[in-house]
Amino acid sequence: MSNYLETTHDVYKEAALTPDVGLCCTTNPIWELPGLKIPKIMQEMNYGCGSTVHARDLTNNPKTLYVGVGGGMELLQFAYFNRQKGGIVGVDVVDEMLEASRKNFIEAEAENDWFKSEFVDLKKGDAMNLPVEDNSIDVAAQNCLFNIFKEDDLKSAIAEMYRVLKPHGRLVMSDPTCEQPMNDTLRNDERLRALCLSGSLPIAEYVKALTDAGFGTIEIRARKPYRILDPKNYPTDELIYIESIEVAAIKDPMPEDGPCMFTGKAAIYYGDEDFFDDKAGHILLKNQPLAICDKTANALKALNRDDIYISESTYHYDGGGCC
């Protein structure tokens, strides 16, 4: 284990032994669902930077993998949708975090009459070598973990997620991102990296790591303010703004012309006919916004029509659309 990963291990070992609310991240909200009660200890150990899986990702009892279990809160939420033995798999490299989750599940059983600890299969392992079979997972998730990894480890972690997913399975994630350059002092600070700050990548680099692994469809689901690194408190001469991004990478075949990337663009046809057909699989109903991927946006712009409006990227995609 490299030095920075040892530092990360120690940080989260301590967080397992002594829960630290808001340790590294803006904690993500709990799901408010009928009959779902989240024990207080799970909320205190909610070490995430945003939402990962949406409820719509969890239809039809999907086999779900979560890497970096925290206090078990997200595993409990996933189990709400798959109440089968071993239907949810949680992987963590920190023994103390796994043990804390097991204890927390006992409390969850006491507060939720539908929940059984056997719904969740906790395994020791790291993101670069998942103890999970090939093509066995419908939905994989991680929350504020991959941003910690350096380039080669990030490639390995994404490749492992791709390996274990079934065809058309999805990897859903939340991580800090940063469009500004960071100096070497910040990048090499192992504790700041472990605290989900100095490992933040620009969105384009983050997405490229996913498409390089083979994911054919990328959805940018949200982009939110996250943290500030300021000269008074961090080794930087300028103020650095960090955002939290929520992304889904789908194990679709890679199109010949490159991945379909949804960044929240839409097309609106406002011409004289009832609809517009671009003869490439996209039908735009008059005055009805249609979510489109960036490739389709570029193709429609290239038509140079005066009756189709293409919106800018909102970096919020909520499903549906052209592909």
Q: pLDDT of the chain along its 323 residues, tens only?
A: 678 888 888 887 887 776 665 555 555 667 889 999 999 998 888 776 767 788 889 999 999 999 999 889 999 999 999 999 999 999 999 999 999 999 999 999 999 999 999 999 999 999 999 999 999 999 999 998 899 999 999 999 999 999 999 999 999 999 999 999 999 999 999 999 988 899 999 999 999 999 999 999 999 999 999 999 999 999 999 999 999 999 999 999 999 999 999 999 999 999 999 999 999 889 999 999 999 999 999 999 999 999 999 999 999 998 887 65
Q: Side-chain half-sphere of 44: how many Cα atoms within 13 Å?
A: 12
Distances (CA, A) of 58 to 31, 54, 83: 13, 7, 12
pLDDT of residue 306: 97
CA distance 309 to 318: 20
Distances (CA, A) of 66 to 45, 131, 145, 220, 265: 15, 12, 11, 19, 30
Distances (CA, A) of 196 to 96, 131, 161, 201, 244: 20, 24, 20, 11, 10
CB burial class (10 A; 0-12, 13-18, 19+) of residue 275? Answer: exposed
CA distance 212 to 248: 15
Q: What is the pTM of this model?
A: 0.92
CA distance 246 to 26: 13
Which DSSP category does 28 fall into? Answer: P
Within the chain, how many helices (H) and strands (E) appear? 9, 13
Burial per residue of 163-184, b for 16 or more beta-carbon CB atoms within 10 angstroms, e otherwise: bbbbeebbbbbbbbbbeeebee
pLDDT of residue 15: 76
Residue of 65, 83, 213 whose CA lies nearest to 138:
65
pLDDT of residue 323: 59
pLDDT of residue 268: 98
